[in-house]
Structure 1
Amino acid sequence: MSKTVLIVDDDQTLVVPLKEGLESSGYSVHCAADGGQGVLKAQQVRPDAIILDFYMPGGDGLGAYEALRSDPLTRRTPILFSSAVPMDELRQRVKDDSQTFFLKKPVGLSQILGVLRPLLSSPKTDSPAEFGTAIVKEALSRAAPRFHEFKVRVAYADTDKMGIIYYANYFKYFETGRTELLRSLGVRYRDLEIQRKLFIPVVETGCRYVAPSRYDDLLVVRTWISDIGKASVRFENEIYDEDLGGAKVATGFSRHAVVNDLFRNVKVPDDLRRLLAPYIRPGARDAIGRIRTGAQRIHV
């Protein structure tokens, strides 16, 4: 039996192609043009997942979200907020849970499927460990992998006496890439540390320098995930210089332990695994990963 998805969005230029794409992928799709209609439609069709816009006429997404979460029939239904609203604003206004996800518009079909497939295709189980493993295996085999990108100008302070980026400053770009990848999903390092007492310190890192970049060059920093272990995450990075015709200038990686506030290893939470799954690109790991940097190691 096909899974049912409800799209609640007033922008038909987005709804129509998304509906067609989901239906061609095997889903049964229903649509509503505003929050009020969305709540009623959810009660009627009992969808397996809901894609919800934030700002709509005739009842906004926040009101619809609160109504859906107060209804026993949809209290645990996965809800994907698809909105142009900044992630920080959504996080502040939405009281989210492990079944709530955030995607920033414009959102492609592959991104939607990257979240829906592992969510709706995973076997039901009472074991968190089995559930987490099933989610990741499904994501690795079916979800369309992607990467996060951001652009940054090389500041004068980032260069050395020769006028090129000082070698250690590439790690700053890598760190910003990791942070912005999480932020694009509605997750902030600060929230993980303060609210969930969850920390992801670097235990291993490396960088290969391919070509020099200079002051005021425009860089594109690309970030993805090559592996999520039982209690670890490995990020990969590539940096391109648009002032050098888009040439690759550096590659790198960082491996992180997942620990609590007592600095003891803990499992990667299942909801975080699900959220990160679309960014996993198994095998997309630079040879730099075989180089050991001599950093302090933590058993993970």
Structure 2
Amino acid sequence: MTFRLSYGDCDPAGIVYYANYQRWMERTHTEWWFLQGLRFDDLPSRLGVAVVTRAASAEYERTITLFDQIECRLYATSVGRTSFTMRGDFIREDGTRASTATLTLVCVDPHMPEKAVPVPPPMRRLLRSGSAGR
């Protein structure tokens, strides 16, 4: 996904507010799944799972400011039995990386969210296919 920073993305100094990277990562990975035909709100009825976030992190390398254009390049970095990790590289217009964010997500029983269940085969195939790449 590519977008341009607006006033709401920045602090009073015009520099991106650090927590926005997680918001953008969530938006990018949710959009990717949507474009693959898998909406997270439909997963309980379609595949018998819900997906919850287990961990989120970000590393900040370069500043981005008001009106900068950013591209988030999404990758599936690991696929386990019940969880998977997505990485988003946030790339500035000059081609340099501004930040890297990660999300580790776990498939759970929709009726017992404390119980992890295996990643369903359709999701596993998409994650392993490299389709999450740019």
Residue 268 of structure 1 corresponds to which residue in structure 2? 119
* 1:184 alignment partner AA: L
* 1:260 alignment partner AA: D
**Residues 94-109 of structure 1: pairs in structure 2 closer than 5 A:** none
Question: Which has a greater percent of helix?
Answer: 1
Tell me, yes or no, if structure 1 residue 232 matches structure 2 residue 80.
no
Q: Distance in 1 between matches of 2:48 and 2:38?
A: 14
Render the CA deviation track for 1:204-254: whole Å, top value 9, x for unaligned.
121110111111211100111011111001111100111xx1221001211
Q: Distance in 1 between matches of 2:5 and 2:48?
A: 34
CA RMSD of aligned residues (A): 1.7
* 2:106 alignment partner AA: A
Say which of 17, 24, 27 aligns to 1:176: 27
Tell which has more relative contact order, 1 or 2 (C-alpha 8 A, sep 6+). 2
Q: Distance in 2 between matches of 1:195 and 1:280?
A: 21
Q: Secondary structure at the match of 2:25?
A: helix
TM-score by length of 2: 0.88
Check conservation: 2:5, 2:66, Cα contact below 8 A.
yes
Q: Secondary structure at the match of 1:200?
A: strand
Tell me, yes or no, if structure 1 residue 212 matches structure 2 residue 45.
no
Q: Secondary structure at the match of 1:167?
A: coil
Tell me, yes or no, if structure 1 residue 153 matches structure 2 residue 13.
no
* 1:246 alignment partner AA: G
* 1:238 alignment partner AA: D
Residues 203, 236 of structure 1: alpha-carbon distance in 2 compared, 3 angstrom cutoff: same
Question: Which has a greater percent of strand?
Answer: 2
Q: Distance in 1 between matches of 2:49 and 2:98?
A: 33
Say which of 253, 256, 272 aligns to 2:105: 256
**Residues 129-144 of structure 1: pairs in structure 2 closer than 5 A:** none
TM-score by length of 1: 0.41
The alpha-carbon deviation at position 175 of structure 1 amounts to 0.6
Residue 40 of structure 2 corresponds to which residue in structure 1? 189
Structure 2 gaps of 5+ residues are none
The alpha-carbon deviation at position 276 of structure 1 amounts to 2.2
The alpha-carbon deviation at position 180 of structure 1 amounts to 1.9
Residue 21 of structure 1 corresponds to which residue in structure 2? none
Residue 38 of structure 1 corresponds to which residue in structure 2? none
Structure 1 gaps of 5+ residues are 1-149, 282-300
The alpha-carbon deviation at position 163 of structure 1 amounts to 0.7
Check conservation: 1:258, 1:267, Cα contact below 8 A.
yes
Q: Distance in 1 between matches of 2:131 and 2:2?
A: 21
Check conservation: 1:224, 1:235, Cα contact below 8 A.
yes
Render the CA deviation track for 1:255-286: whole Å, top value 9, x for unaligned.
111102111111111122112221279xxxxx
Q: Distance in 2 between matches of 1:185 and 1:269?
A: 14
Residue 277 of structure 1 corresponds to which residue in structure 2? 128
Q: Considering only CA atoms, is the larger Rg found in Structure 1 or Structure 2?
A: 1
Q: Distance in 2 between matches of 1:170 and 1:206?
A: 9
Q: Percent identity over the alignment?
A: 26
Q: Distance in 2 between matches of 1:247 and 1:224?
A: 17
Q: Distance in 2 between matches of 1:217 and 1:193?
A: 38
